[in-house]
Structure 1
Amino acid sequence: MKQISIISISIFFFGLFFFRNTINADTQVVLRVSGMENPKLQLNLEKDLINLNGVGNCETSLSTKTIILKIDDGKIGEKELHRILNKWNCNIEEFHFHKLY
Structure 2
Amino acid sequence: MWKGQQVCGITSQNAYDYFTQNDDGRGKERGELVSSILLLLERRDNGYQSRWDKVWADARCQQYKRPDHDDHWIWNFKFYNAPVEDLKHIFNLIRKG
Question: Under TM normalisation by the shorter chain, which class is it?
Answer: 0.3 to 0.5
TM value normalised by structure 1: 0.33
Please say which structure displays the higher CA radius of gyration.
Answer: 1
The answer to which structure has the higher strand fraction is 1
